[in-house]
Chains A and B, each alone.
Chain A
């Protein structure tokens, strides 16, 4: 009996090794001729956080990208100057929101799946890891859902950022607070210890100090923190009247919930990433009055007309068309992560059209020259000291308010784009 078991185990071991050794190696190559017009299928590779703490944001981001691919292919692809038709397909893996898988998977995307272009994972941390691989193998990567400035100070040549960089995320929230109540002076920053949020609050703290605010607390919490008790006690002890910070969706919404449960007496709360997500409304009263920076909202009024007024080229659908198509496809409202995913594809499409080729060097040249207005906003990349950094796009700020007893998201800043007056002070 026991001998049989040993034999079985031995066999299992050997079998697993054999299996692994001859592990399937599928290769997908692009290129197929049909009739007289050549059709090329371009592979776009990316990882998605199908599970893990970035699931919420990442899913919307890839939904946006998928919508773009579907639309382009349904229209028959892109027609290049020489008559070639370019169609797209995607290969993606689940990175589980964790940095130790990302590099392995991007290497696989490049070497095994032969991806021609890459889209970044969600979050600055994962993108920083992926960017190294894409750069090592000389691939172009469109970075969406990754706002950290520091990625673009590492000497990369082929990574392009869609989002307004982190250093501009909360400066507007400081301006908004100033316009609401000049008497508030004490601000606390409580933020996630991630690449992204650290970059945001460092810039915001400096800006707040310039604006005459007294930063009474400036402290980070570790990734994956679930208990904010100590931070809330410290905020209360510091006498802060306004709190800014947060990190990503999960920790941000937990922080908002615990601040509410603890009935903390503050007048203003601005958090990163979480508030613009439609699911933030599920927090109920804890969401009421919370302000958040957003890369894009459905009410954003970029149009071919405003492009003309600004002397820019307009490209792609209008916000209204995008929202309509997105709702039809996924039966929910898009948020800025969805729009960012779509825009990543759209900008790549524009670059391929401008280049008249899918050759990486030519597409790179086109991206370097890019200066357009889309439904997502103005897109232009730094080509000097911080290559690839977004310098065209700007932020807007939303707040959760009650309308006919229902929680709704309203744009409150900048004033020109506002859909409602800000709610102030926060009532916990």
Chain B
């Protein structure tokens, strides 16, 4: 039994890192610009297809393709910002919710026409590593490592780079930042780009071990919401911990009850935290 718990814990934690960076993208955008990005899931799915086609079509190794995918995600996010979000950035929440959802519909619509909804697999066989009774699939181990690197990279970027400092300044007070000369439109666009980059990377990583379709993003988007609320919306570092918590829940809950109860627990927890501690488990009082 202890063995089984340990195995489930490791499985859960490894996935948790990847879910964590997906949620980080969502919560970064929320924190900086107060926008809940409802196209997040479809952007995750596009990350999956990007890695898939770079590998299948051009023969680029998935982990190299991931770097390209990140770059594509950044550019794509900036474009989306200027087309769909910029005009309504100061409008009531409903406008940005619907604008990003409209983007979501376009991606899913075109994606369904182009890729169909037939599940895909990236045929990447890296085997497994065995420690005692615990077997770890190599692709998942690498994914967790990459996710950690990306999270650390984002942290350093926000802390030490000039654009990163701008982003933090806009988060704290957009008006004040504009007065001291921070180019707020560019900063917001960059933030949306970074959020999309994180979504694309997490999608690319997930695609190396799970089958996917263009519609697969929805479930990861919902997970990102749960994680974002666990770690505090607007708190990117909290998201990583939120991701680990979700991973542990998904690993351990099935050992105690039928696995299909896991989402019930997750979403009830989600609503409860929204009601009781809307700033997340690690957030302060409002």
Contact = CB atoms under 8 A, between A and B. Distances in A.
Answer yes or no: A and B touching, Cβ < 8 Å.
yes
Contacts of B118: 51-53, 55-56
Contacts of A55: 116, 118
A230 B254 contact: yes
Given A51-B116, A53-B119, A226-B211, A262 B135 contact: yes
A230 B3 CA distance: 13
A263 B128 contact: yes
A36 B12 CA distance: 74
A234 B255 contact: yes
A12 to B, nearest CB: 15
A254 B211 contact: yes
A51 B260 CA distance: 26
B258 A229 contact: no
A13 B112 CA distance: 24
Nearest to B1: A237
B128 A261 contact: yes
Contact of B11 (A97, A224, A230): A230
Contacts of B130: 263
B117 A97 contact: yes
Interface residues of A, number: 30
Contacts of B128: 261-263
Nearest to A284: B125
B247 to A, nearest CB: 10
Interface string B105-139: 00000001000111100000101101001010100
A219 B117 CA distance: 27
A230 B8 contact: yes
A221 interface: yes
B119, B127, B133, B258 interface centre (most CB from chain A within 10 Å): B119
A233 B211 contact: no
Interface in B184-221: 210-213, 216, 219
Contacts of A261: 127-128, 135, 137
B119 A250 contact: yes
B259 A237 contact: no
Interface in B1-40: 1, 3-4, 7-8, 11-12, 15
Given A220-B260, A236-B7, A250-B119, A227 B255 contact: no
A96 interface: yes
A226 B112 CA distance: 19
B135 A219 contact: no
24 contacts: A50-B116, A51-B112, A53-B118, A55-B118, A56-B118, A96-B117, A193-B260, A220-B260, A221-B259, A226-B216, A229-B12, A230-B251, A230-B254, A231-B254, A231-B259, A233-B7, A233-B8, A233-B254, A234-B254, A236-B133, A254-B211, A258-B137, A262-B135, A263-B128
Interface of A: 50-53, 55-56, 96-97, 193, 219-222, 224, 226-227, 229-231, 233-234, 236-237, 250, 254, 258, 261-263, 284
